[in-house]
Structure 1
Amino acid sequence: MIIIARKTGRLGNRLKLFSHFIAFSVEHQIPIANPSFYKYAHLFRGTQHSDLWCRYLPGVSDKIDATSQGMRRLAIPQWSRGVLYQSLHALLETSTTVGLKHWPMTIHSIDLGQSCQINKDPFLTLAQQRNVWVRGYRYRCSELVVKHVEKVRDFFQPTLSDQQRVDSVLESARSRASMVVGVHIRHGDYRTYLDGKYFYPASAYLAIMRQVTRLYPDQTIEFVVCSDAKFSADEFSGVNVRISQESPQVDMYTLAGCDCLIGPPSSFTEWSAFYGGKPLYKIVDIKRELQLSDFEFRIKSMIA
């Protein structure tokens, strides 16, 4: 078994990390436990009714039937999963401090700047021979995520209630347009992240939205704006816009249901594009003139 024992980043980052280990699990029939996912476990059908450890069991967990046995089980309180994670975290920190890394499970750690290809040796052989606690972010096996993409997507279906909210937003948008474009405006932490490199004002997004309308002259376009900041439709004059008032997870899956996406480099929109299989334009140069070829969907780049 592999146990993901350290949380890194927020929702998008944790979905990415978990996804690589799920694909690895399907390929090699090695169970996964992810107590570090405790904060978000209640948001997805694959983990909503799982045990405290948020396990993925190959051949079992990838068969999600929300209308049968899975929905009859009581959901585990988020706080109890949090207590388990904090306890394990403290235990592992102590073990590492005293130099104990092989008790009865092997501790495998990488720094934030490091990466580990889990489908290759030495990690692959280690995981096949021992139980492993992993601590780090860039544990990757992109080729297996591509191979087992549908199992990953099935496991991370939103809860039925969230899916209904997503469907409601999208149905309303499509009733007024022939094309729905998702726009992710990440302000919050991006105000200071990398000295504000990807913190773009609403006017910059509006300029890109107007470019999109020119690229698709035969389409009636509705833009769905999802953000961690507050905006009004008046800030996007000249385009048809809907400002989402939903939770982050509903926004994430609403974006996944749009026809194409726009947003700064972010694991949030990358996950939306990955889950929905939709083209994404990552805004790296805010002054660049948008081209149709800029919208692209490549699984490996979305899940990297």
Structure 2
Amino acid sequence: MIIINDKPGQLCNQLWSYAPFIAASLEHKNTFVTLYFEDNFYLFENLNRFKNIKFGWFRRGKIDIYLRKILLRYIRIIPNNILRTFRIYVDKTNWKEESWPEYLITKKNNIVFVGAGCHKKNNSFLLKYHSQIVQIFEPKKIYKQKVDDKFREKLKDFDIVVGVHIRRGDYKDFLNGIYYFDDNTYLKAMEAIKRQSDQEKKLVFLLCSNEVLNLDFYGKLDIFQISDPNSISDLYALSCCNYIIGPPSTFSMWASYYGNVPLKFIKHAEESVNLEDFSEIVAQDTFANGNLLIHNAS
């Protein structure tokens, strides 16, 4: 059993931290439990799809929080020799930053506490269990249906949908703002995609952002947004596109992996955008074409 004892960032950081452990647990038929997901229970339809994959013990927010506090408090004060007798492995010195060997965390009947955010990931099974991970993290029908209806409407008039992830907000400070781009940067990228696309096919751009956009600025192109969007509806919508473009982000990476959608990162304002550079994400920071995300120096 793997017990996740940390909460590594926002939603998509959590998904990328958990997914390799979930895939490995499905492969080895072990149990995966994360103790920190109560903020996101309401977003997903099938978190309990597999009996050995658990998001909290009962998926009841207050109860799970209470049990977590008790468990994490007492597991850290019980002597290690007693814990090891029951094959329970807790690294109290490197709590949330453990570095367990692979054989230990996959061995049956072991109970291993792991900080998913920092622990080395085994991505070997992400593609093999892609369909199962998609099932687990299927959005709730209330979010999914709205997106499906919008795409059904747009695909009556358009052949290709390009998702544009316009990340602002927190990106003003992330890595000293190196990926904080203005509207003109995104517009140039969109125009480049349109020029290179099959001119016999009609193309429309889905705009997703964590801030209110000036849609008039993009008025020369065919654009749309999901009405009353939130993180899960935009995330799912991007996964339904034919292409995704945006700054480096675990958000667009998850959409690419979830929907098998080719993705291209904009890493600087003058970046050339070529359709042949788009590739699907197969693991965090890893593209199907072999490219790896390496952040620019600030």
Q: So what's the TM-score if we normalise by structure 1?
A: 0.81
Counterpart among 102, 110, 130 of residue 123 in structure 1 = 102
Task: Name the residue aligned to 2:113.
Answer: 133
How many angstroms apart in 2 are the aligned matches of 1:241 and 1:162? 20
- Provide, for residues 157-198 of structure 1, a one-character-per-residue CA deviation record: whole Å limited to 9, x for no partner: 111222111202212322331111111111121110100011
CA distance change for structure 1 residues 31 and 274 in 2, over 3 Å: closer, same or farther?
Answer: same
> RMSD over aligned Cα, in angstroms?
2.8
Task: Name the residue aligned to 1:4.
Answer: 4
CA distance change for structure 1 residues 136 and 21 in 2, over 3 Å: closer, same or farther?
Answer: closer
CA distance change for structure 1 residues 232 and 169 in 2, over 3 Å: closer, same or farther?
Answer: farther
Q: Which runs of 5+ in 2 are unaligned?
A: 293-298
The residue identity in structure 2 corresponding to 1:133 is: F
Q: Which runs of 5+ in 1 are unaligned?
A: 63-74
Counterpart among 132, 145, 164 of residue 126 in structure 2 = 145
Task: Name the residue aligned to 2:29.
Answer: 29
Secondary structure of the structure 1 residue equivalent to 2:39:
coil
CA distance change for structure 1 residues 84 and 199 in 2, over 3 Å: closer, same or farther?
Answer: farther
Instruction: Report sequence identity in percent.
Output: 25
**Contact persistence 1:231–1:243 (CA under 8 A):** no
Paired residues for 1:142-291 under 5 Å: 142-216=123-197, 217-244=199-226, 245-291=228-274
How many angstroms apart in 2 are the aligned matches of 1:16 and 1:257? 19
How many angstroms apart in 2 are the aligned matches of 1:15 and 1:174? 29
**Contact persistence 1:32–1:56 (CA under 8 A):** no
The residue identity in structure 1 corresponding to 2:185 is: A
CA distance change for structure 1 residues 115 and 199 in 2, over 3 Å: closer, same or farther?
Answer: farther
What's the offset of the Cα at 1:153? 1.2
Task: Name the residue aligned to 2:296.
Answer: none
The ranges of structure 1 where at least 4 consecutive aligned residues each deviate by more than 6 angstroms after the TM superposition are: 109-112
How many angstroms apart in 2 are the aligned matches of 1:243 and 1:257? 13
**Contact persistence 1:274–1:302 (CA under 8 A):** no
Aligned length: 276
Task: Name the residue aligned to 1:71.
Answer: none
What's the offset of the Cα at 1:127? 3.8
Greater alpha carbon shift after TM alignment, 167-176 vs 253-262: 167-176
What's the offset of the Cα at 1:133? 1.1
How many angstroms apart in 2 are the aligned matches of 1:147 and 1:76? 27
**Contact persistence 1:6–1:136 (CA under 8 A):** yes
